């Protein structure tokens, strides 16, 4: 032991010295980024542009009320809600208009903090990303300065908006991949903030595929292991994390809210309050004698229920066609006692549930009796009132004419369990097939005229003609009937159905339904004063007024730095032209660049030009209201490209032409003049970036560099 101690003492020499290396340039640009993004963050103390949109979701998070936003997954909303939570926000603020003043109880700085932090971190991240692309610290500084002095990025970072969060995670994913770090979380986070993150993820998949292809020829590597690692990191882990974001989302939002109607009855019943207060504890299995309300699966976003009332179809319609003059059957978008139906066994007369109950199974034939009028649900070879290609649905009345009742319906459970084929409340989606004609009960969605009280038409249509989405019906309210007499039954139908038992659906069922709704249920897009087309973004033809002071000329606009915007566009065109020349010459056998430099040039194009393409081209194909801020992720890739391309041109083109000191000095002067122009342009538009100082009408008019910009001012 003594020998071991002596050897250890010899190895441990005092004093202990630790050497720390610090990139002072990186530190400087980081400090400047935090200063430009976080200074006076609480100004203005009013709702700014899309804060009125995202603020509503933040308030719902604070109150744990369910909502659905078709614009993207929930991670971005949760990040905004986290900032609000840290600031003590209780959700009690009405986000009803842009410019509304925040009360003193709302910590505005906290609401805007996390987007501002993400926006500030993008600047040092671009610096490090340039170094990972094997370019110099000078190019890294140039890229960081372009982001630092970009007015539009500053504006977008300083408010409770999501673009800065998206850009941060996208850049972090690319940096992590090039640095061979764990980049799965960054990819999943980018997708979790907005679906546009998927395109950056596809870019990384393409880059990873190219890297894997080049590794195949390297016999020193275990190619299979490398492929498995990339599949796990780029596919498996992001999917799991994406699901995890929704798990948190659905765990927090467990209360009923204004968006419940978009979801199925089963989903609504799993939330506290709302429908769950009515359906909680209802009998699970539908039986003969059950009293039910049937909601159409196709009635979205406004629900409607199978309905009948004491009014008949007109003898003749406006176009001269005749009807059966039977009792009307419709779909009614409100809770009503006339929505109740009784499920009857055709072989028996009873309208109550037996003891023990006899559950209805897939394939059983039933009759549906309207609870308040005792009419049987009927269909026959008579054209529907508004859809003459389909059969009429009616409540059968015996007019002592030769018209046999056709009121038998076969129950087809489309989502039945393999273990059980029993018709279940809320959980089962059924099709009701008319036995005599094989037509299926469906909601046509057409409104009836005044004689039908503007309710929705219900028809029976052949299965091969009908769309599957409009055929399903779900039992929403359900109880076991106990009254045979009509008067007693009417009183029973008016009574509440609540029973103190709880029943929930699984997370996976809720997750899959929510995914489907987000992708298919689109809110109506309307034209906006500041909306724009993607091609207008490249030349910044438009701006967006984010905030206007109610009495002065102080205002905030989303306007990019025109000088850096133009430089970025020129560098994009220059790279494409230079790449075309290189490829043509290499095809002819002339290698202008060494293999290592060529690989670096190609990698620059894949990351920067590819990043610009995947974040811009998809908008050309979208039919939705678009704004200038949608272009900001693509613009960041051009700022990453510009200094690196200039370094490449200086190192491999200009020096080969002339290496004289005069040319180098001229190049340095040009670059200095360019950076100075960028700074002066940034400084010039700062009053519109920060909303202060207030400018006069003439000064604002001077800032209108393009006729298409909408800058408002008051003449005092």
pLDDT of residue 404: 61
User: Cβ(61)–Cβ(251) under 8 Å?
Assistant: no
C-alpha–C-alpha distance, residues 545 and 711, integer Å: 7
Q: Would residue 40 be called left, alpha or beta, if left means φ above 0 and alpha means ψ between -120 and 50 degrees?
A: left
pLDDT of residue 122: 96
- Assessment of whether the complete model's pTM goes beyond 0.85: no
Domains and CATH numbers, the chain: 44-247+535-703 (no CATH), 254-278+501-519 (no CATH), 282-498 (2.80.10.50)
What DSSP string runs through 169-196? HHHHHHHHHHTTS--HHHHHHHHHH-TT
pLDDT of residue 525: 54
Please give the residue that has the higher pLDDT: either 227 or 347: 347
Closest CA to 651 of 191, 138, 205: 138
User: Cβ(608)–Cβ(641) under 8 Å?
Assistant: yes
User: Cβ(484)–Cβ(352) under 8 Å?
Assistant: yes
Report phi then psi at 203, rounded to 5. -60, -45
Sign (positive/negative) of CA torsion 80, 84, 89, 95?
negative
Looking up tokens 């190895």 gives 11
Kindly tell me if the per-residue pLDDT of 572 is higher than 60: yes
H or E stretch covering 167? helix 163-178
pLDDT of residue 94: 86
Closest CA to 652 of 591, 693, 586, 698: 591
Kindly tell me if the per-residue pLDDT of 126 is higher than 70: yes
Closest CA to 193 of 113, 55, 75, 83: 75
For 305-314, 331-340, 536-545, 664-673, which range has the lowest pLDDT when averaged over its residues? 664-673
Q: What six digits make up the tokens of 505?
A: 């659906």
- For the chain, the first-to-last Cα distance in angstroms comes to 90
User: Cβ(431)–Cβ(441) under 8 Å?
Assistant: yes
* pLDDT tens digits, one per residue of 3-14: 665 565 555 555
Report phi then psi at 501, rounded to 5. -135, 145
Report phi then psi at 37, rounded to 5. -95, -30
Give me the helices (H) in 521-631, please.
534-538, 562-587, 595-604, 610-620
Kindly indicate the confidence band of residue 83, based on its pLDDT and cuts at 50, 70 and 90. very high
C-alpha–C-alpha distance, residues 376 and 409, integer Å: 11
Mean pLDDT of the chain: 86
Kindly indicate the confidence band of residue 500, based on its pLDDT and cuts at 50, 70 and 90. very low
* pLDDT tens digits, one per residue of 341-399: 999 999 888 888 888 889 999 999 999 999 899 899 999 889 999 999 999 999 987 76
Residue 627 is given by DSSP the state -
* pLDDT tens digits, one per residue of 304-321: 899 999 999 998 888 888
User: Cβ(157)–Cβ(119) under 8 Å?
Assistant: yes
C-alpha separations of 112 from 87, 152, 185, 288, 344 in Å:
10, 16, 23, 58, 60
Kindly tell me if the per-residue pLDDT of 502 is higher than 50: no
For 9-23, 255-269, 433-447, 617-631, which range has the lowest pLDDT when averaged over its residues? 9-23
Strands 327-332 and 305-312 turn out to be antiparallel
* pLDDT tens digits, one per residue of 437-482: 999 999 988 999 999 999 999 999 986 655 566 688 988 888 888 7
Assign 221 to helix, strand or coil.
coil
pLDDT of residue 471: 82
Show the beta-strand stretches assigned E in 358-429.
365-370, 377-383, 391-395, 409-413
Closest CA to 534 of 465, 611, 624: 624
Q: Cβ contacts of residue 261 below 8 Å, gap of 6+?
A: 300, 301, 302, 303
C-alpha–C-alpha distance, residues 125 and 147, integer Å: 10
β-bridge partners, 322? 316
* pLDDT tens digits, one per residue of 128-167: 999 999 999 999 999 999 999 999 999 999 999 999 999 9
What DSSP string runs through 307-340? EEEEEEPPSB-TTS-B----EEEEEESS--GGGE
Give the mean pLDDT of 278-288.
78
Kindly tell me if the per-residue pLDDT of 523 is higher than 70: no
Give me the helices (H) in 629-660, please.
632-649, 655-657
C-alpha–C-alpha distance, residues 35 and 174, integer Å: 25
Residue % of the chain over a pLDDT of 70? 89
| Cis peptide bond prior to 554, omega within 30° of 0 | no
C-alpha–C-alpha distance, residues 139 and 123, integer Å: 13
Give the mean pLDDT of 622-630.
89
For 110-114, 326-330, 403-407, 594-598, which range has the lowest pLDDT when averaged over its residues? 403-407
Assign 124 to helix, strand or coil.
helix
Q: Helix %, strand %, coil % for the chain, to 5?
A: 45, 15, 40
Kindly indicate the confidence band of residue 112, based on its pLDDT and cuts at 50, 70 and 90. very high
C-alpha–C-alpha distance, residues 426 and 500, integer Å: 17
3-state secondary structure 469-514: HHCCEEEEEEEECCCCCHHHHHHHHHCCCCCCCCCCCCHHHHHHHH
C-alpha–C-alpha distance, residues 23 and 58, integer Å: 38
Sign (positive/negative) of CA torsion 37, 42, 44, 47?
positive
pLDDT of residue 501: 38
Please give the residue that has the higher pLDDT: either 168 or 501: 168
Q: What six digits make up the tokens of 473?
A: 């019906």
């Amino acid at each position: 032991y003594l020998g071991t101690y002596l050897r250890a003492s010899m190895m441990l020499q005092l004093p202990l010295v630790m050497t720390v290396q610090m990139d002072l340039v990186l530190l400087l640009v980081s400090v400047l980024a935090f200063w430009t993004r976080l200074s006076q963050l609480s100004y203005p103390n009013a709702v700014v542009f899309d804060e009125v949109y995202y603020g509503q979701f933040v308030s719902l998070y604070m109150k744990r009320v369910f909502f659905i936003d078709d614009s993207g997954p929930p991670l971005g909303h949760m990040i905004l809600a986290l900032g609000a939570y840290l600031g003590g926000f209780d959700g009690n603020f009405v986000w009803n208009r842009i410019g509304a003043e925040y009360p003193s109880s709302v910590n505005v700085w906290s609401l805007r903090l996390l987007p501002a932090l993400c926006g500030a971190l993008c600047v040092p991240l671009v610096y490090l990303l340039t170094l990972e692309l094997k370019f110099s610290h000078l190019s890294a500084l140039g890229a960081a300065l372009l982001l630092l002095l970009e007015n539009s990025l500053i504006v977008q970072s300083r408010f409770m908006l999501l673009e800065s969060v998206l850009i941060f995670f996208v850049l972090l994913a690319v940096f992590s991949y090039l640095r061979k770090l764990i980049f799965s979380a960054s990819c999943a986070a980018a997708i979790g903030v907005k679906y546009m993150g998927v395109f950056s993820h596809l870019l990384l998949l393409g880059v990873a595929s190219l890297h894997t292809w080049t590794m195949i020829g390297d016999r020193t590597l275990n190619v299979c292991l490398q492929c498995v690692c990339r599949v796990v990191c780029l596919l498996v882990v992001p999917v799991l994390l994406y699901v995890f974001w929704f798990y948190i989302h659905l765990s927090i939002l467990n209360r009923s809210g204004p968006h419940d109607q978009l979801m199925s009855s089963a989903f609504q019943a799993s939330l506290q309050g709302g429908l769950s207060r009515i359906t909680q504890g209802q009998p699970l299995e539908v039986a003969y004698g059950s009293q039910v309300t049937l909601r159409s699966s196709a009635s979205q976003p406004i629900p409607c229920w199978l309905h009948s009332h004491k009014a008949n179809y007109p003898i003749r319609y406006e176009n001269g066609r005749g009807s059966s003059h039977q009792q009307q059957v419709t779909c009614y978008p409100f809770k009503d006692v006339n929505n109740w139906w009784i499920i009857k066994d055709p072989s028996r007369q009873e309208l109550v549930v037996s003891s023990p109950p006899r559950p209805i199974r897939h394939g059983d034939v039933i009759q549906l009796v309207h609870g308040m009028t005792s009419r049987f649900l009927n269909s026959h070879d008579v054209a529907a009132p508004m859809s003459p290609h389909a059969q009429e649905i009616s409540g059968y009345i015996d007019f002592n004419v030769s018209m046999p009742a056709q009121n038998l319906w076969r129950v087809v459970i489309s989502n039945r369990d393999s273990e059980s084929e029993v018709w279940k409340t809320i959980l089962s989606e059924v099709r009701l097939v008319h036995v005599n004609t094989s037509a299926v009960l469906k909601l046509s969605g057409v409104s009836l005229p005044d004689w039908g009280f503007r309710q929705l038409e219900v028809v029976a249509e052949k299965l091969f003609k009908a769309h599957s989405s409009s055929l399903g019906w779900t039992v929403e309210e359900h109880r076991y009937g106990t009254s045979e007499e009509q008067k007693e039954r009417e009183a029973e139908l008016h009574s509440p159905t609540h029973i103190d038992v709880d029943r929930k659906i699984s997370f996976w069922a809720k997750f899959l339904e929510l995914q489907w709704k987000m992708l298919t249920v689109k809110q109506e897009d309307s034209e906006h004063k500041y909306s724009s087309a993607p091609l207008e973004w490249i030349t910044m033809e438009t701006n967006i007024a984010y905030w206007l002071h109610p009495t002065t000329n102080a205002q905030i606009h989303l306007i990019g730095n025109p000088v850096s915007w133009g430089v970025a566009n020129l560098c994009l065109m220059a790279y494409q032209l230079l790449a075309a020349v290189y490829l043509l010459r290499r095809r002819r056998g002339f290698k202008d660049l060494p293999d290592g430099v060529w690989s670096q040039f190609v990698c620059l194009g894949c990351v920067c030009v590819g990043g610009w393409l995947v974040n811009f081209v998809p908008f050309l194909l979208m039919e939705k209201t678009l704004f200038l801020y949608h272009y900001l992720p693509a613009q960041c890739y051009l700022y990453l490209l510009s200094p690196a391309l200039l370094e490449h041109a200086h190192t491999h083109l200009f020096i080969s032409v002339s290496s004289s000191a005069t040319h180098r000095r001229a190049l340095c002067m040009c670059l200095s003049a360019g950076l100075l122009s960028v700074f002066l342009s940034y400084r010039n538009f700062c009053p519109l970036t920060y909303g202060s100082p207030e400018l006069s009408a003439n000064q604002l008019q001077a800032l209108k560099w393009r006729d298409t910009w909408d800058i408002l001012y008051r003449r005092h």
